[in-house]
A and B are shown apart, each in its own frame.
Chain A
Amino acid sequence: MADAVAAAALILASSLRLSVPLIFACLAGLWSERAGIFDIGLEGKMLAAAFAAAAAADASGSAAVGLAAGIAASLAFALAHGFASIDARGNQIVSGAAVNMLAAGLTAAVGNAWYGQGGRTPQLTAPASRFGDIAWPGAEAVRAVPVLGPLYRDLVSGHDVLTYLALAAVPLTAFVLYRTRFGLRLRATGENPAAVDTAGVSVRGIRYAAVLIAGVLCGFAGTYLSVGQAAGFLTGMTAGKGFIALAALVFAKWRPWPALATCFLFGFLDAAAIRLQGTVLPGIGEVPVQAIQALPYLLTVVLLAGFIGRAVPPRAGGIPYTKER
């Protein structure tokens, strides 16, 4: 029994760690798309941030400088996407695809030119250059307490600061979106920009703000990958997480709290896939890991098809707003 609880605490903790980048990226997409700007470039922005954060943390020896660089890199791509979708009135899907390609190419090409290690950044060895795990008071003292002890020690305590920031970002997003004037205007911009414009509020300003918030959040997501979870950048290290976050966003129907739940579910699936690799379950045989990996995508397609509820995107999503024709 105690063993089962300890194992459950460990697998939940690993699910939490795997869901952190998804939570940041999913919220980023939520901000952008709620304002009417489709963002399939989450993956690219995360990748750019991961590279910049690892490079800056390596050069400065400080994880905080890494985070700042990660956010700056992600913001640069967010601005390009914002300019193309808001001022140039271009196709937001095309622009997002361009962001993904540019980030994938630039991080690998620049990484190779700078470090000559096939696109990696040097391993971050100095303790200050990474976000360390925070042990909560009494975490070791309560480990003997049944059930609650391991849960407190492994699940609540012992994560880095970015993990707790990700969890805090969800209520913050929900509060700003649903309880402030700015949030109301932002959601209105995604549904009916003409009404926002008529009320004398700048659609352009709101949309730029949303895109930039998305950039900051993707900066956190990428930094977590290369400076929190791993110790350095690897080419293509986002490995489709930006698209899983996009799937989670659709699955959560563009709402913050369901987004948290979905990201945690997808993180749990990921953790389970890693843990179940090669194990044989009675009656089923060897678990096909690919089946678990495919689940997030499959669930999203089924949801999109309208078989489990209905996912309706913001109405003005993807359509550039033109003031006065």
Chain B
Amino acid sequence: MLVPLLSVATAFLAGGLVLGAIGVDPWNALRELVGGSLGSGEGLGFTLYYATDFIFTGLAVSLAFQGGLFNIGADGQAYIGGLGCALVCLHGGALPPWLVIPAGIAAAAAFGAAWATVPAVLQARRGSHIVITTIMFNFLASTLMAYVLVNLLRPTGDMQAESAAFPPAAIVPSLQSVLAAVGIAAPTTPLNLSFVLALACALAVWVFVWRTRTGYEIRTVGQNPQAAVYGGISPARVTVLAMALSGALAGGVAVNEIMGVQGRLLLDFTSGYGFVGIAVALMGRGHPLGVVLASFLFGMLYQGGAELAFDEPKVTRDMIVVVQGLVVFFAGALEGLFRRGLARLFDAGLRPRDTGETSLPPRVAEPGGEIP
């Protein structure tokens, strides 16, 4: 618990130094960041709306982590997931209205899962490196979607590369309208019921990974594939399963953005949220509760950062990407350094022994550390 806190604190300290270097008072920026993201009902709504996307991608990356896989392609999987839900929403006229949204969610998950399954099968059956293939699949997704949007889904005569608007039955209700139905007034924000779906997914991932037989198999393969084979588990099957579920979770971004907010398919609607997922998963130590907390923090960063960029001309939203990179660097790449440093500190007499326990499998936390 101490390791992530310490590394994230270091990352934010470094972010403050960058702000200071470009001539912005970091304390003032921090005050504005917190005020902009939590200070009003509207700010909080936007914060939770951003957090929804990050919970989906964070869970996607975490689930793959548990199987010892690095899914760097959540962005592409979410993008293709958008195609799935757009096809259902645009052509689902024959479905009864109450079924359109569930069908759209299922399509987003199925398309995301399919896009993740190809690299997984290539790794499991042909031994190609999943990191390289998922990177390639991100670019393939973006060229494919550009082609589909410009040449196939764009209504004739329309200049913008975007699909036609979805029918009202395909729009996920906003939280504001749901609260209004039970008599609570809430400000207008893009926050919608996808947030509840994201929280449900977090719970489901926890139950699945830590309370089911298949989840146990995934964790075993993540910790030690040789031992898994010895225990009668097929790493190839687990690899494909973990990646498919990971891609399905990434498809949740499409539900929030496409069906919840935009109501149409847009170019690049994922805005790099798949990569935020990497930061969130590392910060949350691959655990669903950690992912939800880290997503909330990143939601604050995005919303507060937007407010800050509005007030302070020297700051742009790119600062968020800087902080994101710092978090990945300190909480991810230098994780072992912090952990070993703390362990040494405790060994020196503060406590009898620090277990240095991490919920990330060693193959991810410290590659090659445990496997000969």
Question: A residues near B, CB below 8 A?
Answer: 38, 40, 80, 84-85, 88-95, 97-106, 108-110, 112-114, 116, 119, 235, 240, 243, 246-247, 250, 288, 290-291, 293-294, 297-298, 300-301, 304-306, 311, 313, 318-320, 322
Contact = CB atoms under 8 A, between A and B. Distances in A.
Interface in B1-60: 18, 22-24
A95 B1 CA distance: 21
Given A90-B336, A106-B18, 15 more contacts: A88-B333, A88-B337, A90-B333, A91-B335, A97-B72, A98-B326, A98-B328, A98-B332, A99-B329, A100-B325, A108-B316, A109-B318, A119-B316, A246-B132, A313-B129
Contacts of B140: 294, 297-298, 301
Contacts of B135: 40, 243, 246
A293 B335 contact: no
Nearest to B139: A297
B314 A95 contact: no
A113 B22 contact: yes
Interface string B327-348: 0110011111100000000000
B367 A108 contact: no
A110 to B, nearest CB: 6
B244 interface: no
A116 B368 contact: no
B333 A94 contact: yes
B137 interface: yes
B314 A112 contact: yes
B322 A106 contact: yes
B275 interface: yes
Given A95-B329, A104-B318, A250 B132 contact: yes
A320 B367 contact: yes
B333 to A, nearest CB: 4
19 contacts: A80-B329, A88-B334, A88-B336, A90-B366, A91-B333, A93-B72, A93-B131, A98-B326, A101-B325, A112-B316, A113-B314, A119-B318, A250-B132, A297-B143, A301-B122, A304-B133, A304-B136, A305-B122, A320-B367
Given A102-B322, A105-B318, A84 B364 contact: no
A199 B138 CA distance: 42
A210 B151 CA distance: 45
Contact of B126 (A97, A98, A306): A306
Interface string B303-326: 000000000011110111111111
A240 B22 contact: no
Nearest to B365: A91
B322 A105 contact: yes
Contact of B367 (A97, A247, A311, A319): A319
B79 interface: no
B369 interface: yes
A98 B367 contact: no
Contacts of B226: none
B146 interface: yes
Contact of B136 (A105, A116, A301, A322): A301
A92 B365 CA distance: 10
B118 to A, nearest CB: 8
Contacts of A294: 139-140, 143-144
B97 interface: no
Nearest to A322: B369
A318 B129 CA distance: 11
Given A108-B316, A294-B139, A298-B140, A98 B128 contact: no
Interface in B89-144: 122, 126-129, 131-133, 135-137, 139-140, 143-144
A291 B72 CA distance: 23
A91 B132 CA distance: 15
B368 A305 contact: no
A301 B134 CA distance: 9
B221 interface: no
B50 to A, nearest CB: 17
Nearest to B282: A94
Contacts of A106: 18, 318, 322, 325
Interface in B340-372: 364-369
A266 B151 CA distance: 24
A84 B368 contact: no
Given A105-B320, A105-B325, A297-B139, A91 B147 contact: no
Interface in B127-184: 127-129, 131-133, 135-137, 139-140, 143-144, 146-147, 151
Contacts of B302: none
Given A88-B337, A294-B143, A301 B133 contact: yes
A304 B314 contact: no
Contact of A95 (B137, B275, B332, B364): B332
B195 interface: no
Pick the 4 closest A-B CB pairs, nearest first. Answer: A105-B321, A101-B325, A319-B368, A102-B325
A274 to B, nearest CB: 15
Interface string B246-282: 0000000000000000000000000000010011001
B240 to A, nearest CB: 14
Contacts of A301: 122, 128, 133, 136-137, 140
B132 A300 contact: yes
Given A91-B333, A304-B128, A318 B326 contact: no
B298 interface: no
Contacts of B133: 301, 304
Nearest to A300: B136
B70 interface: yes
Contacts of B367: 91-92, 318-320
A98 B72 CA distance: 12
B122 A290 contact: no
B368 A318 contact: yes
A247 B131 CA distance: 12
